[in-house]
A and B are shown apart, each in its own frame.
Chain A
């Protein structure tokens, strides 16, 4: 995955983070804490995938930090043998921003959920994305509040019957990908908890991206919202529904590639039968996540509805733009280079008198 060039110095997402030649294995990233998610929870697979993936980066493990908020997924840092902070509800992006601004030598990961990131922490999420702070946000979306035992979340379908909504929920859900793109996130992707290969590809690209990377992970809660994503896990159903996002390739899917994505008259995107597209002389959309205008990726995100009838999976957007933390450090370095840090001169100021 290459990013568009805006005449910026080409820095990878991990530039400045010290590496090691020591061979690493997944178990090096397992902490001594017993994992305490419910049996069958999707979080286990994501944790295992992360622990298998990190050794491929070859970073010094002490330079990796996981910051989380509150919720089931936010227990994640306790199980990683890295530095970690399990913070407070919704605030992980804010805390991680301070960390990233202060330390260019750290690989910073935020682990959050649909309630943590999109409800109580919605403001921090969008502002972190708009600033493009160099940190990676993994949003475990199970469309339910698990830790508080089963209330509807901001990604639950309207009308959902839960303990707090016995007559059905009334709110329209967020599409997290659309929201992130609305905030002009520079890297936006979606993965499934059960797809280790796909998730690893997305995590690799996210780590290499310099700036905020937003990754929505569809994750099953076996206790309070079991089977929410089952249609994407059944082999035949998945083939009909999942639109794999492969850079440089036409957007086609279906058991026989019988469906494809085309442009609508109004600049959006929609699914059509490949046969009809060719018959009408239409053109299949070739996926390009590096298009700088977020409108393309946004249109793509609108194909996937709440019902999962069609679900694009992979990297929606991956563009280069300056990161907040790099710019903040540049300002400090520039100020240091242009003016000495003379504390006595500062205290004296311009107008003094002596008694």
Chain B
């Protein structure tokens, strides 16, 4: 592409067809990355979210990356208090929220300082000059005002007195100066909406609904939003506006969705398709709480949500409900999984269905609550006492969370086992357009409870550990079923009969049976995207790194090199064709947001020397970064080594 979404103050004679009140140039772009950054009290998440909704309603493809501090209100005006929201929208199918913003909206000096390094030279920076006081500059360590000292010369800076302009626009509302100023985020949204020809009706309707109980606040926000729009329209500061056409996505009806919402909907759908009531036992934890919030809104689907006294009680109640014949679900993040491990073990031993959702965040311990990471894989695989196999799956995009929640239910119900779903902070809070599935096409998850005695000796007894010969699942006899009274628990059980057994051979057999059951779970084959069929390097990934890896591969291919991509959504068991796929390529490179956990598992399993590329920075990989890694490997260099080989196009299409 030739042009990026950078406002240029060049003169033009082409009229703006939308308003035709002032002459501005209209440039057409295929994609733009905008980052809204401000203090955590400035409402940047809401601003970004509204811009995203407008882009979605317009029909762009999009991906978002919210990035905010763990503190609810970190000290005002400081670097740790900066909250940002990046949105990438395009006229084609994009894979990531974008590496670097074309446009940075900085509401204060801290936001500028925290984000300037990510803005490429030539990029646009729109600043709220009102916040650039001596005091605020000193607070973040600026000795001189960057708006005046020439340090921003490589960028296109658009100084706008947003606080003053917002106050002015609201002077007749009767709001205090302070309250009026709070609407400055809507001013910035209005300005950007004008600049990118975004529809405005949705935002105005949203504001009216959100503040329905406080009409004066609703009015103030709408006025500020319009003032921002009008500012762009009437001042001479911005000579060019930009259009990004709707994306050519597969046909169908779309909506915008975050990973957490998609996961919650997947659980609702699993309840409907299995015909089972859903019981969610959960304890609030970042970044998984939104799943609890969302499911709590949908009790009309027969969903009971229980906010437990702790993580342990959350999963305990879920397992108790599963024992009772419901679909038990618990949602948490890594620290919560640590606490739930014992009950997951009980679920493995009692062989009851249970869905454990881990929205991974930075670790260890409390780590980085609001940042993303993929470092719970080994915890999910092995973080329990004894030989304790659990199926593990991982969605690859926000929308994929819906399908994978249904898959978690299928596996848990079919095989009578806890199943762990590994989402993470980036897809949980990130959003994208989602092709809404037709409910009639969703899988049938109906289950059969045991109703008859099943003793293998022909007696009228119920033996709880008699297995289905195909799935190795035991029968699920729920309390209330006459004649099938039985006892289960955490102690080792005799094969078939299910009484307590300390017999050495029996234990060996049961350990192997539980493992064989999980190993035998049916999962789809992994598919490989190798357009040239000439690649000798395979980029492999799992979970949320699908987007950056895919975007990195696109860049590599665009610069004339070959690379194949395969992505794992099923981690235990692994797809049965994976070994064969890995064998096909000379080099397998595996980027992970951990220190090489899946790489270690694959090396051990397939005796293949995976090239592990790792980064644990709390943020998703960038496409450019991975493109360079892939290029270096294709050129037979170590990543980071600057050889004289083919170079990747850094501005290539993602």
Contacts and interface: CB of A to CB of B under 8 A. Distances in A.
B485 A81 contact: yes
Contacts of B449: none
B304 A124 contact: no
B479 interface: yes
Interface string A243-270: 0000000000000000000000000000
A348 B255 contact: yes
Contacts of A93: 313
A97 B272 contact: no
B202 to A, nearest CB: 7
Interface stretch (A196-204, A273-281, A315-323, A328-336): A328-336
A62 B479 contact: yes
A105 B483 CA distance: 16
A97 B316 CA distance: 8
B253 A354 contact: yes
Given A83-B479, A101-B304, A123-B313, A61 B485 contact: yes
B45 interface: no
Contact of A102 (B265, B279, B310, B313): B279
Interface residues of B, number: 73
Contact of A353 (B56, B312, B438): B56
Interface string A104-128: 0110000000000000000110010
B302 A336 contact: yes
B265 A346 contact: yes
Nearest to A89: B342
A317 to B, nearest CB: 22
Interface string A62-87: 11010100100000011011111111
A23 interface: no
B304 A33 contact: no
Interface in B417-452: 436-439
A85 B309 contact: no
Interface string A40-73: 0000000000000000000011110101001000
Interface string B323-367: 111101000000000000011011000100000000000000000
A347 B57 CA distance: 16
Given A347-B265, A351-B56, A351-B202, A101 B302 contact: no
Quick one: which of A96, A99, A335, A349 has the most chain B CB within 10 A? A99
A98 B306 CA distance: 9
Given A97-B313, A346-B265, A355 B252 contact: yes
B13 interface: no
Given A86-B489, A88-B346, A97-B317, A123 B309 contact: yes
Interface in B29-69: 53, 56-59
A72 B321 CA distance: 25
B59 A99 contact: no
Interface stretch (A2-10, A136-144, A288-296, A337-345): A337-345
A63 B479 contact: yes
A160 interface: no
Contacts of A344: 438-439
A60 B482 contact: yes
A352 interface: yes
Interface in B462-514: 479-491, 499-500
A31 interface: yes
Contacts of B499: 33
A8 B576 CA distance: 59
Contacts of B438: 344
A73 B346 CA distance: 19
Given A94-B320, A98-B279, A328-B304, A353 B480 contact: no
A248 to B, nearest CB: 36
Given A85-B488, A351-B202, A94 B265 contact: no
A91 interface: yes
B490 A88 contact: yes
B343 A102 contact: no
A39 to B, nearest CB: 20
Nearest to B299: A335
B260 to A, nearest CB: 14
A239 interface: no
A302 interface: no
5 contacts: A77-B489, A86-B488, A91-B343, A98-B318, A351-B256
Given A31-B487, A70-B490, A99-B324, 7 more contacts: A62-B479, A91-B343, A96-B320, A98-B306, A99-B323, A336-B299, A354-B252
Interface of A: 18, 31, 33, 60-63, 65, 67, 70, 77-78, 80-88, 91, 93-103, 105-106, 123-124, 127, 328-329, 331-332, 334-336, 338-341, 343-344, 346-349, 351-355
Q: Which 7 A-B pairs have the closest CB atoms?
A: A98-B320, A86-B489, A94-B316, A98-B317, A335-B299, A95-B320, A94-B313
Interface of B: 53, 56-59, 202, 246-256, 265, 268-269, 272, 277, 279, 281, 298-304, 306, 308-310, 312-313, 316-326, 328, 342-343, 345-346, 350, 436-439, 479-491, 499-500
